[in-house]
Structure 1
Amino acid sequence: MKHLFTLILLLTVSVGLSAQGYEVGDKAVDFKLKNVDGKMVSMSDYKSANGIIVIFTCNSCPYAKLYEDRIIELNNKYESKGYPVIAINPNDKDRQPEDSFDKMKVRSDEKGFTFPYLYDETQEVAMTYGATKTPHVYLLKKSGNTFEVVYIGAIDDNPQNPNDVKTKYVENAIEEIEAGKSVSEDYTRAIGCTIKWKS
């Protein structure tokens, strides 16, 4: 009986893990979240985009702070090419007060974010994507009337120092897509703080 219970538990865990989150090649379901300007934003607002750089990030995580300027640069470089950034804060404000919606507005103003900074208050979008870190990137490519996941992971290979970056994963992926190629490195390990899930 004890062995049967263990087997059932293992099967439940494995099924649960396999059912959570997107994999490369999956179609991304649309969402609607509140931006720091109070307006609702969804992927369907980006009808003319070639893709979207979805980045789960936050105010409080030291890694997220290290990447803020690079996220701004990504949007500045690729929005005009049809790949805008959408930043999403998935953290529970009760566990991390610095990530409240009001604090998000302050941080967006301080940094001069040129992209939407959305609040995933229910954490449903982060769970749907399978995000686990801040920052965690999902590069989407337009595929007909939907968006397909083509890359998951880190922005680049050096969180600490942008001057020492050797591989720019997101930029490389976009350049390959634009050249009509498949993304050669479509998955890397996201490095950052764990998402603060609701208790």
Structure 2
Amino acid sequence: MKKTLKITAVFLLLITVSAFTTQSNIESQGYKIGDDATDFELENIDGSMVSLSDFKEAKGFIVVFTCNTCPYAVAYEDRVEALNKKYADLGYPVIAIMPNNTEVKPGDSMEAMQKRAKEKGFTFPYLMDEGQKIYPQYGATKTPHVYILEKYDEKNIVKYIGAIDDNYQDETEVKTKYVENAVDALLSGKDIEVKETRAIGCSIKV
């Protein structure tokens, strides 16, 4: 009995270490502040293929890894839409990317994405990370997880990583709007005071 318990304990420990290592590897391999984010080409909900290079007049991007099925992501949908309406015309459009494995989360299929976007009236591209190749490059681990990029000499430099704001539960109780503060600083030519925060959300499903 004791031997069985010991084997079980070791097995659980190995699973925990493996999970932690996998998460750490994604984060360690992901982009850091100041890195140049590689462009991508992903399918949008309208069937077109979208790349950052398509946005010739953009000064940068608000890249948001999000989905339909995570309650945290759903709680932020209106705020993500508001970010696009506020900043797209100022040169910082939202680019939303759905990173989940749709076999694990069928509610995040392209059809479901199209339906959700129509229901909510999304004005930003909502892209599918087919094959889950892009989110590991960024180091995203949650939905939502935000990366603000600034275009500089034909590069897309990472300027902010983390959460949208400091209260996912109640927008009226938000005290610090991390993404808005960061984009406002970039538009004003100032340094971003808070460059990294902890993303709060659901783990990306692989």
Normalized against structure 2, the TM-score is what?
A: 0.87
Q: 1:154 aligned to 2:163? A: yes
Q: Which amino acid aligns with 2:134?
A: V
Q: 1:19, CA displacement in angstroms? A: 4.6
Runs of 4+, deviation exceeding 3 Å? 13-19
Equivalence for 2:74: 65
User: CA, structure 1 residues 180+88, in 2 after alignment: closer, same or farther (shift >3 Å)?
Assistant: same
Q: 1:18, CA displacement in angstroms? A: 6.7
Q: 1:45 aligned to 2:71? A: no
Larger radius of gyration: 2
The secondary structure found in structure 2 opposite 1:188 is coil
The answer to which structure has the higher helix fraction is: 2
Q: 1:16, CA displacement in angstroms? A: 4.3
Q: Which amino acid aligns with 2:136?
A: M
Match of 1:26 among 35, 43, 67: 35
Alignment of 1:2-13 (within 5 A): none
**C-alpha contact 2:26 2:140 (8 A) present in aligned 1:** no
Structure 1 gaps, min length 5: 1-8
Q: 1:82 aligned to 2:100? A: no
Q: 1:22, CA displacement in angstroms? A: 0.3
Q: 2-side partners of 1:18 and 1:60: how far apart?
A: 23
User: CA, structure 1 residues 80+17, in 2 after alignment: closer, same or farther (shift >3 Å)?
Assistant: closer
Structure 2 gaps, min length 5: 1-16
User: CA, structure 1 residues 136+16, in 2 after alignment: closer, same or farther (shift >3 Å)?
Assistant: closer
Equivalence for 2:129: 120
Q: 1:148, CA displacement in angstroms? A: 0.3
**C-alpha contact 2:164 2:178 (8 A) present in aligned 1:** yes
User: CA, structure 1 residues 72+18, in 2 after alignment: closer, same or farther (shift >3 Å)?
Assistant: closer
Q: 1:167 aligned to 2:176? A: yes
Equivalence for 2:9: none
Alignment of 1:121-140 (within 5 A): 121-140=130-149
Equivalence for 1:5: none
Give the CA RMSD over aligned residues. 1.8
Equivalence for 2:3: none
Count of equivalent residues: 187
